[in-house]
């Protein structure tokens, strides 16, 4: 992966999708069978930060890709380092509240 700056996780995943020559659905299916990740992906929904965090984790481990995590947003940095579940949601600017709360857990190597 190049040293370009990306604005968000979705942009990163689109690059990874293109490099792997797979659809998001195919990557998700592979992820679901991977013993290295915990996932609860529902196909047909908009791809959430949870989805991209899990796909990124799978691709890094499965394909041996290296990436400078300091170039990703702080929330991704936290997701990769935390032992605790990270709450992810969609912020509603009109109501000023978090909607669609979800949980993810990044499993650390022992």
Please give the share of the chain, as a percent, with pLDDT higher than 70.
Answer: 14
Residue 81 lies in a domain: yes
Residue 44 lies in a domain: yes
Residue 26 binned pLDDT confidence (cut-offs 50, 70, 90): confident
99 pLDDT above the threshold of 50: yes
Residue 105 binned pLDDT confidence (cut-offs 50, 70, 90): very low
Q: Within 10 Å of residue 50's Cβ, how many Cβ atoms?
A: 21
Q: How far is CA 54 from the centre of its chain?
A: 4
pTM for the predicted model, two decimal places: 0.29
Q: Any bridge partners for residue 98, and if so which?
A: 91
Domain that holds residue 79: 9-104
Residue 99 lies in a domain: yes
Residue 3 lies in a domain: no
- Least Cα distance to 14 among 52, 41, 50, 40 occurs for 52
Provide the token pair at 78: 């936290």
Task: Give how many domains the chain has, as a whole number.
Answer: 1
Q: What is the mean pLDDT of residues 6-21?
A: 67
């Amino acid at each position: 992966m190049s040293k370009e700056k990306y604005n968000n996780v979705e942009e990163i995943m689109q690059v990874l999708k293109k490099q792997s020559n797979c659809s998001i659905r195919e990557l998700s299916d592979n992820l679901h069978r991977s013993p290295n990740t915990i996932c609860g992906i529902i196909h047909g929904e908009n791809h959430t930060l949870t989805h991209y965090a899990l796909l990124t984790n799978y691709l890094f481990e499965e394909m041996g890709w290296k990436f400078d995590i300091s170039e990703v947003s702080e929330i991704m940095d936290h997701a990769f380092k935390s032992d605790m579940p990270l709450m992810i949601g969609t912020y509603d600017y009109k109501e000023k509240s978090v909607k669609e709360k979800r949980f993810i857990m990044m499993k650390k190597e022992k």
